Amino acid sequence: MLAGKTGSGKSSFVRMLGGLDVNGNEPVSDGGLESCTTKPTTYVTRYNGRTVLLLDTPGFDDSALDNLAILTDIVSNLYIWALQDKEIHTHGVVFLHDISETRFGGSQQKTLQLLKSMCGPEAMGNVIIGTTMWSDNGTKRQAQTIRVPDGDEDVAKSIIGDLLARPPTKLLVQTELLIPPHTCEATTVGRIAIPEGKREAERLAKEMEEQKLEAERLAKEKEEQREKERVEDRKRYEEEQERSRKEMEDRLEEEQKKNAEEREKREEEHQREREEYAEKQRKEREEYQRKQEEDRERYERERAEDRRRQDEAIAAANRRAEEAIRRAQEELDDDGWCPIIFRLVTMIVGKALGVL
Ligand SMILES: Nc1nc2c(ncn2[C@@H]2O[C@H](COP(=O)(O)OP(=O)(O)O)[C@@H](O)[C@H]2O)c(=O)[nH]1
Ligand SMILES: [Mg+2]
């Protein structure tokens, strides 16, 4: 089994040994930024005519929950190996450590701790610690472990040869798994990793609950803020409405005032026109009456004149008649022509009356 932090070179180590998976593919690396190995995978290779199984594992990290999932996967692989005791012998573990890392960080310590719990004190003799990434580090410090130079197949093979030369062993976890209830919880490593995983799961659940509460609080706050904004918007809108209503009323009032003034002015104008018209009418009526009066007076005068002329004519006719009568009377007195004169007088008087 290969163990070690992500990027410590486990998959590369398998490649150096020519390990292939069930599909005939060699393990892949993605440049070390992130592990490409997410599940423990078994690779097969040959060494000195023997078939060797290499269990490549993902590195443990700082998440106990992820570690638990990884551990469960590894343990189930090791259990299968333990069950096939006759065919598969477990020879040991190669723990790889990136020598360029100056710190032996938490995840490596965790990996080592889990590894130790998995192996147990007896199988620890079958654990080899290999240091990798020598080209990245010019350090002169003495390695206490086996140095695995970059791409050095011989060293990799010698490590495997070394392990294969040792008597097969069973990791503690494998021994424990063979005893009922055959569960990971019942193994030493399980007893360490599972409570940690559970604690982390609880912590994560608590964190999630807190995040949920925080999200709810934020949502409530946001909703309150939105409600506040809605109220302010409504208030602003109502104020705006009130202002425009007042403006409209003022404008209307102004217009009404203007209209009333114009109406008043027009009324005054009409009144003046009516008065002027009435005055004109009155003057015309007076003029007419005056003319009427003048006509009547003239008529009166003419009638009086006519009457006077008539009277004068009658008087003149009377005078002439009297004269004629007088002259006829005189003549009658002179020569007995009385009937003829009388007829003449009658004729003249009759003519005079006809003239009238
Ligand atoms: N410089 C150097 N790079 C290495 C060595 N071993 C692996 N690498 C590179 O480190 C990266 C991670 O290697 P990988 O085998 O995927 O690590 P794993 O995550 O432990 O499987 C890859 O880009 C490898 O090519 C080594 O000994 N020296
Ligand atoms: Mg890998």
Q: Which residues are CB-contacts of 201 (< 8 A; sequence separation ≥ 6)? A: 65
What CA–CA distance (Å, rounded) separates 349 from 320?
A: 9
pLDDT tens string 309-321: 888 888 888 887 7
- What does 130-146 look like in DSSP terms, one character per residue? EEE-GGG----PPPSSE
- H/E element holding 66? helix 64-83
Q: Which residues are CB-contacts of 188 (< 8 A; sequence separation ≥ 6)? A: 117, 118, 120, 172, 173, 176
pLDDT tens string 207-219: 999 999 999 999 9
pLDDT tens string 146-162: 777 777 888 888 889 98
How confident is the model over 256-267, as a mean pLDDT? 93
Cα dihedral 214, 218, 219, 221, rounded to 10, equals: 140
pLDDT at residue 166 greater than cutoff 80: yes
CB-CB contact of 113 with 146 (8 Å) = no
Cβ of residue 29 lying under 6 Å from some atom of ligand 1? yes
Which of 12, 15, 115, when mutated, tests ligand 1's pocket best, judged by the most ligand atoms within 8 Å of its CB? 12
Identify the pLDDT of residue 149.
73
Instruction: Return the residue whose CA atom lies nearest to atom 26 of ligand 1.
Output: 133
**More reliable by pLDDT, 170 or 232:** 232
How confident is the model over 105-115, as a mean pLDDT? 79
Which of 22, 12, 75, 16 lies closest to 44, judged by CA?
22
Q: Which residue has the tokens 């593919």?
A: 25
Cα dihedral 270, 273, 279, 284, rounded to 10, equals: -120
Least distant ligand from the CA of 31:
1
Identify the pLDDT of residue 336.
58
Amino acid type, 335: D
Identify the pLDDT of residue 148.
76
Q: What are the distances in angstroms from CA 258 to CA 158, 230, 264? A: 113, 41, 10
Going from the Cα of 12 to the center of ligand 1, the distance in angstroms, rounded, reads 6
CB-CB contact of 27 with 13 (8 Å) = no
Q: Average pLDDT of the chain?
A: 84
Which of 153, 156, 104 lies closest to 128, judged by CA?
156
Cβ of residue 32 lying under 6 Å from some atom of ligand 1? yes
Q: Which atom of ligand 1 is nearest to the CA of 14?
A: 15
Backbone φ, ψ for residue 131 (5° rounding): -105, 135
What CA–CA distance (Å, rounded) separates 132 from 149?
A: 6
Q: Which atom of ligand 1 is nearest to the CA of 5?
A: 20
Cβ of residue 150 lying under 6 Å from some atom of ligand 1? yes
CB-CB contact of 130 with 97 (8 Å) = yes
Going from the Cα of 242 to the center of ligand 2, the distance in angstroms, rounded, reads 73
Residue 212 has a CB neighbour count (10 Å cut-off) of 10
Instruction: Return the residue whose CA atom lies nearest to atom 13 of ligand 1.
Output: 9
Give the model's confidence band at 142: pLDDT under 50 very low, under 70 low, under 90 confident, else very high.
very low
Cβ of residue 111 lying under 6 Å from some atom of ligand 1? no
Q: Measured over all CA atoms, what is the biggest interatomic distance in the chain, rounded to whole angstroms?
A: 224
What CA–CA distance (Å, rounded) separates 4 from 103?
A: 14
User: What is the rounded radius of gyration, in angstroms, for the C-alpha atoms of the chain?
Assistant: 73
| Long-range contacts of 80-89, Cβ-Cβ distance < 8 Å, separation of 24 or more | 81/53, 81/55, 81/174, 82/170, 82/174, 82/175, 82/177, 82/178, 83/178, 88/53, 89/168
What CA–CA distance (Å, rounded) separates 356 from 352?
A: 7
pLDDT tens string 326-349: 777 777 666 655 666 667 767 777
CB-CB contact of 199 with 64 (8 Å) = yes
Instruction: Return the residue whose CA atom lies nearest to atom 23 of ligand 1.
Output: 31
What is the three-class DSSP state of 274? Answer: helix
Instruction: Return the residue whose CA atom lies nearest to atom 6 of ligand 1.
Output: 9
What proportion of the chain, given as a percentage, has pLDDT over 90? 37
pLDDT at residue 140 greater than cutoff 50: no
The CATH number of 2-186, from 3.30.365.10, 3.30.70.980, 3.90.76.10, 3.40.50.300, is: 3.40.50.300
Give the model's confidence band at 33: pLDDT under 50 very low, under 70 low, under 90 confident, else very high.
very low
Instruction: Return the residue whose CA atom lies nearest to atom 14 of ligand 1.
Output: 9
CB-CB contact of 235 with 107 (8 Å) = no
What is the three-class DSSP state of 284? Answer: helix
How confident is the model over 85-93, as a mean pLDDT? 86
Identify the pLDDT of residue 356.
53
Identify the pLDDT of residue 53.
94
pLDDT at residue 255 greater than cutoff 50: yes
Least distant ligand from the CA of 132:
1
Identify the pLDDT of residue 335.
60
pLDDT tens string 208-254: 999 999 999 999 999 999 999 999 999 999 999 999 999 999 999 99
**More reliable by pLDDT, 198 or 240:** 240
What CA–CA distance (Å, rounded) separates 270 from 3?
A: 115
User: What is the reported pTM?
Assistant: 0.58
Identify the pLDDT of residue 143.
33
Identify the pLDDT of residue 35.
44
pLDDT at residue 353 greater than cutoff 90: no
Going from the Cα of 168 to the center of ligand 2, the distance in angstroms, rounded, reads 25
